[in-house]
Amino acid sequence: MASIARTFMAARPAMLRLAPRAAPIARTPFRTFSSSRMSLLRKYTKDHEWVDLSADHKTAVVGISEYAAEQLGDVVYVELPEAPGDWIEQGDAIGAVESVKSASDINAPIRCKVHSVNKALEEKPSTINQVPEDDSHGGGWIAKVDIDEAGVKQFEGLLDAEAYQAFVSTVDEE
Amino acid sequence: MRPLRHLGRRPIVPPPSSSSSFTIPITSSRQFSESAAANPSNKTQIYVSRSTDPLTNLSLEHRLLQTTHPDSTVLLLYTNRPCVVIGRNQNPWVEVNQARLGPQSAIQLVRRRSGGGAVFHDEGNVNFSVTCPPKAFHRDTHAEMVVRALKSLGEGAARVNERHDIVVDRGEEGTFKVSGSAYKLTRLRSLHHGTCLLRSPGLRSISGLLRAPGETFIKAQGVDSVRSPVANVGVEPAAFVDAVVDEFRRMYGGGGEVDGFGDEVLEVEKVREGYEEMRERAWVYGQTPRFVLSTEATEDDPRERPAVPFEKLAEGFLHDLLSDYVPVLTFSQSKLYIEAKRGIINNLKLNGTSLESPSIVGASIWEISDWATRLRDAGAEVDDVQEVGAWLDGVLATQP
């Protein structure tokens, strides 16, 4: 979703500076109710997707970052992938969102196979704007996926929270 | 665009007329070449289409988005023959009066890959499209470019509004939209395309075309169009094309050539594949987000419903306490409820009872041309099945 990142750059600079960047990572209370409470690790892509890997390395949850959600502007529709679906390669579309007349793809952060989707987003797409990094019930996560060894390997190559925040701040300064 | 399930191969019928209404300042005589488009040294590319087929133009536009170098900036200008173009996540049965399109009037219904609302195109409308790197993208940048082009042609009142559309202020008459925009954003590329009404003869028909008979009965997920009063700018299409090319060159340099292409561009395999994919009804209708059509107010959609034509005065019987049947006249009307996702029926209820037949559940709306017969086949046992069917033929109409 690098594309999305620039969408509102010139229009909402003040918003960007004020945005609480570290908030989602620190938001542990949500995890208590999460089906992925076993989750050990969250990593990010440079395209602004996040992925939570389960402890057993068999499943993961994916979504888009707070940064991406801000850049998108008001999300009016989320097109979810089919569940259960086929294997999706890293970087291929796993869904799509529409905001401010723009259709944007959401890409698979790692090779994965969708086993369930966040149906609540169909009724309430704005959840993506409110809690994009929340993987619990009522959160803005996109899909729960199965992963294989290739996906785990790709996961290792992604950015951890700190590296992602650093990346985002360089994007902003450009 | 995800792969479609029903990619039957129908031959491409050549469009009735393929000549553009304006003379094009094409300076190059070479054929469209994917490898030239993808060449990193071609940082600025300008294309003007001779084709008036909306699918040819949209398909080439998409191919340029996929193949041009991520650092390049690409301008494309094209004019389509009469068509209605809806956004990627819209519902055609909410947006378009499909009975007015018809084979006779030959107005094609098209679903594009970008977001946004429904627009009407004809030969008096020129479309501009700029594909650039995400880093350079802003929703207003190229609308402003077109505004400068319009100003250079004497339309001083043109400006970009808060919806990223181009409007003209016409004093006491009010403000009119002359150009609407939509965007497609991918990892490597950002596409902004827009219409520009110059001398559209079909202006008066727009509001009728974009008003669907089923609108008041349907609650749809996805994107609703925002209605705006529209006007023609009143400049010649050829002059507009020249002026936009000039402004584009001013921004991105490149005294480069203007490449032209016509329908022969469909010989390029991927352009042709894109064309065929967009032509499928599984795309035009099957990409429709979930919706509910109901003749009664529902919890999710409490709007009061207008009368439906199958409401009729019917004879009934009242069971009276003395065990006599007394004939009375009552209003009888079947209550209809349809739930569909991706244009496929999930549930259809008549008077609260779901029809479980596979000729309804799992059926694609676009494959039903005679609803009364289909409902009877599915075992519908209501008196007014003929009327219900005839009504549905209208509100869920599709182009063949």
ipTM score for this prediction: 0.83
pLDDT of B317: 56
Residues of chain B positioned with their CB less than 8 A from the CB of A105: 185-187
Candidate from A3, A10, A100 with C-beta closest to B186: A3
Q: Are B55 and B275 in contact (CB under 8 A)?
A: yes
Q: Are A50 and A63 in contact (CB under 8 A)?
A: yes
Measured distance CA(A1)–CA(A21) in Å, rounded? 18
pLDDT of A18: 39
Task: Residue count of chain A, please give it.
Answer: 174
Q: Are B51 and B264 in contact (CB under 8 A)?
A: no
pLDDT of B37: 87
Asked if the model's pLDDT at residue A95 lies above 90, the reply is yes
Interchain CB distance below 8 Å, A103 and B115: yes
pLDDT of B70: 93
Short-list B161, B189, B180, B168, CA closest to B45: B189
Candidate from B117, B138, B290 with C-beta closest to A10: B138
The domain total for chain A is 1
- Which amino acid is present at B304? E
Which of A13-22, B14-23, B387-396 bottoms out in mean pLDDT, i.e. has the lowest? A13-22
Which of B17-26, B294-303, B355-364 bottoms out in mean pLDDT, i.e. has the lowest? B17-26
Tell me B3's DSSP state: P
Average pLDDT of chain A, as a whole number: 80
**Chain A: residue whose CA lies nearest to B88:** A103
Looking at per-residue pLDDT, the higher value among A131 and B135 belongs to A131
Band of pLDDT at residue B306, cut at 50, 70 and 90? confident
Residues of chain A positioned with their CB less than 8 A from the CB of B221: 77, 122-123
pLDDT of B67: 94
Interchain CB distance below 8 Å, B185 and A122: no
Measured distance CA(B92)–CA(B111) in Å, rounded? 9
Q: Are B77 and B47 in contact (CB under 8 A)?
A: yes
Tell me the per-residue pLDDT of B35-90, one tens digit each, with 9 for 90 and over: 888 888 888 999 999 999 999 999 999 999 999 999 999 999 999 999 999 999 99
Band of pLDDT at residue B10, cut at 50, 70 and 90? very low
Interchain CB distance below 8 Å, A77 and B183: no
Q: Report percent pLDDT > 90 for chain B.
A: 68
Short-list A57, A122, A113, A59, CA closest to A90: A113
Q: Which of B160, B187, B287 is most worth mutating to test chain A (most A CB atoms within 10 A of its CB)?
A: B187
Measured distance CA(B175)–CA(B376) in Å, rounded? 51
Pairing of strands B83-86, B119-121: antiparallel
Mean pLDDT of B253-281: 89
Residues of chain B positioned with their CB less than 8 A from the CB of A6: 134-138, 190
C-alpha distance across the termini of chain B, in Å: 22
Interchain CB distance below 8 Å, A3 and B134: yes
Asked if the model's pLDDT at residue A21 lies above 60, the reply is no
Interchain CB distance below 8 Å, A101 and B115: yes
Asked if the model's pLDDT at residue A174 lies above 90, the reply is no
Interchain CB distance below 8 Å, A6 and B137: yes
Asked if the model's pLDDT at residue A68 lies above 50, the reply is yes
Tell me B216's DSSP state: G
Asked if the model's pLDDT at residue B187 lies above 80, the reply is yes
Tell me the per-residue pLDDT of A116-172, one tens digit each, with 9 for 90 and over: 999 999 999 999 999 999 888 889 999 999 999 999 999 999 999 999 999 988 876
A165 is written with which tokens?
A: 């925040």
Residues of chain A positioned with their CB less than 8 A from the CB of B142: none
- Which amino acid is present at A52? D
Mean pLDDT of A52-68: 93
Asked if the model's pLDDT at residue B226 lies above 60, the reply is yes
Question: Residue A28, Cβ neighbours under 10 Å: how many?
Answer: 7
Residues of chain A positioned with their CB less than 8 A from the CB of B116: 101-102
Residues of chain A positioned with their CB less than 8 A from the CB of B183: 100-103
Domains, chain B: 34-284 (3.30.930.10), 291-395 (no CATH)
A159 is written with which tokens?
A: 């950015």
Name the minimum distance, in Å, from the CA of A21 to any CA of chain B. 21
pLDDT of B14: 41
Q: Tokens 């991105």 identify what position?
A: B252
pLDDT of B23: 56
Mean pLDDT of B343-347: 96
Name the minimum distance, in Å, from the CA of B87 to any CA of chain A. 8
Q: Are B65 and B1 in contact (CB under 8 A)?
A: no
Q: Report percent pLDDT > 70 for chain B.
A: 86
Q: Which of B185, B186, B287, B300 is most worth mutating to test chain A (most A CB atoms within 10 A of its CB)?
A: B185
Interchain CB distance below 8 Å, B164 and A101: yes
| Helix, strand, coil share (%) of chain B residues, nearest 5 | 30, 25, 50
Band of pLDDT at residue B321, cut at 50, 70 and 90? low
Q: Are B266 and B275 in contact (CB under 8 A)?
A: yes
| Angle of helix B54-67 versus helix B269-279 axis, rounded to 10 | 130
Interface of A to B at Cβ within 8 Å reads: 1-7, 9-11, 47, 76-77, 79, 91, 93, 96, 98-105, 107, 122-123, 174
Measured distance CA(A169)–CA(A17) in Å, rounded? 10
Name the minimum distance, in Å, from the CA of B184 to any CA of chain A. 5
Residues of chain B positioned with their CB less than 8 A from the CB of A119: none
**Chain A: residue whose CA lies nearest to B2:** A93
Asked if the model's pLDDT at residue A7 lies above 80, the reply is no
Phi then psi dihedrals of residue A107, to 5 deg: -100, 150
Return the half-sphere exposure (C-beta side, CA atoms, 13 A cut-off) of residue B181.
27
**CATH number for the domain including A141?**
2.40.50.100
Can you give the residue range of the structural domain that contains A107? 2-173
Name the minimum distance, in Å, from the CA of B103 to any CA of chain A. 30
Question: What SS3 state is found at B129?
Answer: strand
Asked if the model's pLDDT at residue A40 lies above 80, the reply is no
Average pLDDT of chain B, as a whole number: 87
Mean pLDDT of B280-304: 94
